[in-house]
Structure 1
Amino acid sequence: MARYYIMASMSNVLQQKHQNMDIAAQIMESLQEMFGYQGTPVRDHMLALIARFNVAEVLGAEIQSEMQVDMALETLPEMFSQFKVSYNMNKLNISLTELMKELQNAEAILKTKSGETHAVSSYRPSSSKPKGK
Structure 2
Amino acid sequence: MATNSKPGYHPSEPTVGEGKRKTPGHILASISDVLNKKHEVMPTASEIMASLQEMFGQLLSSVRHETINYVYVTRMKDGTNVREHVLDMMLHFNIAESHGAMIDETSQVSVILEYLLESYLLFR
Higher relative contact order (CA 8 A, sep 6+): 1
Higher helix proportion: 2
State whether TM-score is above 0.5.
no
- TM-score, reference length from structure 1: 0.33
Structure ID, larger Rg: 2
